[in-house]
Amino acid sequence: MAAARARAVALLLFCSFPASRSSRSDVLVLGDADFDYLATEHDTMLVKFYAPWCGHCKKLAPEFEKAAGKLKGTVQLAKVDCTAQVDTCSRFGVTGYPALKIFRNGRDSASYDGPRSADGIFEYMMKQTGPDSARLLTEEDLQAFVHHYDASVVGVFSDEESPGLADFAKAAGLLRDQFRFAHTTQMTLGAPYGLQTEGVLLFRPPRLANRFEDGVVVFRDLVTIPSLRRFIRDHIFGLCPHMTLESKERLRVRDLLTAFYNLDYKRDARGSNYWRNRVMKVASKYAGRGLFFSVANQKDFRGELEEEFGVGTSDGGDVPLVTIRTKAGHKYAMREEFTRDGASLERFLDQYFAGRLKRYIKSEPIPPDGNAGAVQVVVAESFDAVVNRPDKDVLIQFYSPTCPHCKKLEPVYAALAETLSADANVVVAKMNAVDNDVPPGYDVQGYPTIYFAPAGRKDEPVRYQGGRELGDFLRFLRRQAGQRHDKQEL
């Protein structure tokens, strides 16, 4: 009897104690009542602010859970339900979901803008641990630091009081999520690389060593945060970097050619460099013409190659598949097989620079009855002809065929089109954004996303963020028409 009573008391105490961590999860659950005192217990913490109904949040959830397990004991991952913990989310300025923020000792340190995969979160957050810049004392320390899978940035300074070291440390704090930093006050460590005074050494990853460029780049100018940032930006990737799922966004800020093949530097560095050396040989001939080069694992980007470029990947990656993606969003694919002498790649590049390549656009067929209904159906191939027609105001809805919110909007959107059907200057249109490429200038992260493309200003589309009733749309369109009239008057 006493034993049964003890078990009951223990069970009661367990159930009534306010647990912030699920027994099956390594993600800490935070709320308005406990956020501050629990957050201060962790040196570094990544917090996900989310809403249970948010599709992007649901997609992120399993990756976030996996990352929490991998980071257990090093970096704490936590989550806040913004539909229930309104005060906390408001305090940290959360306006969209999911929002990820890095906290240090309970203080909001920075927004997380890294990958959303478990491995990507792990790699990104591991760079957030430890000092911003490691201190190197000996040649052995230096070699151990730079012999790494990623590039290394090493500052060489005369003493701990050097102004250059102070700026270097600040830059390391700002950029540590992207690059590896270390510093030394042993000036002799820079001498083998031609650095006799204070400066910075950028070591490219040893696995990417090649005969077309130096493995170490020296920065001898005055070290300031802006100058160091420019130096790293201009030299970190080299002539032909290895693009990964984690680094792709940083590489794609420029026009980029990528060769995708069976690349695996961890298991077969020599084999991975076989095709990369052939890409680099060609790249060196086209240097300075505004196009940059990279190599990537075909398996990592299989879905992208098939869906976004219409390129099949059935060969297993033994021969590279080559694409170009410009910063404006234009896409090109090399249809000729990559030859070992690089001649096919050169022909592809000559056509690209001569403007003779046809862009690849993922598009459904242009519907023969696209104008039959009140809502005009647009596909990627007809987007310019309909939405970018200079003399028309166009309201364009980007939707997904399976999106319940899009289906709910259908009758309202159709009623809007019927109401405006007598106005020849206004077009109400929609495009399936799953099966058609969304043009540059339109940011579609969820469905439905609606934009207004005004007559005469097609390069300045306006995102619609109002209500979804008929009157809301009509008031928005009247307001846009009035603004255009006012500008014309001016």
Whole-number Å distance between alpha carbons of 43 and 57: 25
Q: In what order do the strands lie in the sheet with 99-104?
A: 27-29, 76-81, 44-50, 99-104, 107-111
H or E element that contains 431: strand 426-432
Structure tokens, 276? 């990369």
Identify the active-site residue in 82, 89, 240, 406: 406
CA 116 to the chain's CA centroid: 9
Measured at the CA of 68, the angle between CA 66 and CA 70, to 5 degrees, comes to: 70
List helix spans (H) across 176-268: 225-235, 248-251
What residue type is 290 in one-letter code? Answer: G
What residue type is 265 in one-letter code? Answer: Y
Whole-number Å distance between alpha carbons of 430 and 367: 12
Structure tokens, 229? 């940032």
Which residues 6+ apart lie within 8 Å of 405 measured at CB?
Answer: 447, 448
Identify the active-site residue in 57, 82, 89, 240: 57
Three-class secondary structure assignment of 66-130: HHHHHHCCCCEEEEEECCCCHHHHHHCCCCCCCEEEEEECCEEEEECCCCCCHHHHHHHHHCCCC
3-state secondary structure of 424: coil
Active site residue 240: no
Active site residue 403: yes
Whole-number Å distance between alpha carbons of 453 and 442: 10
Q: Which residues are catalytic?
A: 54, 57, 403, 406
